[in-house]
């Protein structure tokens, strides 16, 4: 494996890239070879929630399912926050049951996220995708066992360099999410910031993939 894309909505089927393609239960595409599947806090539909969870449980057991997500908490969502908490808790318990990592979307709710992880005693890896916050929050999340994934904001916000360079080598991933740039461009900038070669960065992230995804 040369590149790993932790979170993308665009399936490129590039032979040089292992892509973790985001899927939603009601829009599942069986042609995608490696995917995560989850109920996003912005798209919770209480009228079909049980149907979504039925699909989720069916698809999680497939070897092609590498993770649950993206799921999480978002205080901008129109869905009541208590409902979001319940939906996330169910997904985290499924992740623990099936021993699948979790890809998390979190907006304005990091303290609640830490609390629910610790309260449920979740042991499977949890990755915050699209991390864009300050070093203090990064340290808090790392100390609570989270992994951090960088992509769009690393490309767009030069101030994030100082946060990124201090993330331990065994605790981060890279992603594209929905940006136009490809994962190679994210790797190039990340390697520059870490002052290592792209090849060394590839090896480093490959080791993280083996640890978290058992790939």
Q: Which segments of 41-109 does DSSP mark as H helices, in order? A: 49-60, 81-98
Residue range 115-165, pLDDT digits in tens = 999 999 999 999 999 999 999 999 999 999 999 999 999 999 999 999 999
pLDDT score recorded for residue 54: 97
Mean pLDDT within 15-43: 96
Residue range 76-88, pLDDT digits in tens = 999 999 999 999 9
Instruction: Please answer whether residues 117 and 93 qualify as being in contact, where contact means their C-beta atoms are separated by less than 8 angstroms.
Output: no
Residue range 175-199, pLDDT digits in tens = 999 999 999 999 999 999 999 999 9
Q: What is the pTM of this model?
A: 0.97
Confidence of residue 7 (pLDDT cuts 50, 70, 90): very high
Delimit the domains of the chain by residue range: 3-213
Confidence of residue 1 (pLDDT cuts 50, 70, 90): low
For the chain, the average pLDDT equals 97
Q: Minimal CA–CA distance to 125: which of 66, 83, 79? A: 66
What is residue 214's three-state secondary structure?
coil
DSSP annotation of 25? G
DSSP annotation of 76? T
Question: What does the alpha-carbon distance between residue 172 and residue 107 come to, in Å, rounded to a whole number?
Answer: 19
pLDDT score recorded for residue 73: 98
Instruction: Please answer whether residues 72 and 113 qualify as being in contact, where contact means their C-beta atoms are separated by less than 8 angstroms.
Output: yes
| In the chain, % of residues over pLDDT 70 | 100
pLDDT score recorded for residue 119: 98
DSSP annotation of 65? E
Handedness of CA 125, 126, 128, 129 (dihedral sign): positive
Superfamily of domain 3-213: Metal-dependent hydrolases (3.20.20.140)
Residue range 47-60, pLDDT digits in tens = 999 999 999 999 99
């Amino acid at each position: 494996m040369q590149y790993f894309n932790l979170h993308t909505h665009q399936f490129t089927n590039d032979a040089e890239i292992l892509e973790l393609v985001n899927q939603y239960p009601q829009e599942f595409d069986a042609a995608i070879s490696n995917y995560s599947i989850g109920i996003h806090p912005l798209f919770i539909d209480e009228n079909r929630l049980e149907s979504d969870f039925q699909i989720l449980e069916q698809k999680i057991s497939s070897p092609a399912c590498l993770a649950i997500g993206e799921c999480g908490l978002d205080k901008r969502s129109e869905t009541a926050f208590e409902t979001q908490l319940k939906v996330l808790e169910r997904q985290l318990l499924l992740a623990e049951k099936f021993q699948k990592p979790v890809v998390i979307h979190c907006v304005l709710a990091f303290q609640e996220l830490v609390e629910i992880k610790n309260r449920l005693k979740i042991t499977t890896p949890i990755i915050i995708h699209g991390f864009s916050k300050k070093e203090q929050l990064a340290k808090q999340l790392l100390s609570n066992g989270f992994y951090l994934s960088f992509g769009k904001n690393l490309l767009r916000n030069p101030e994030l360099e100082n946060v990124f360079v201090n993330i331990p080598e065994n605790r981060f991933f890279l992603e594209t999410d929905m940006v136009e740039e490809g994962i190679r461009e994210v790797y190039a900038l990340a390697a520059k910031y870490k002052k290592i070669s792209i090849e060394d960065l590839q090896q480093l992230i490959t080791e993280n993939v083996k640890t978290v995804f058992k790939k």
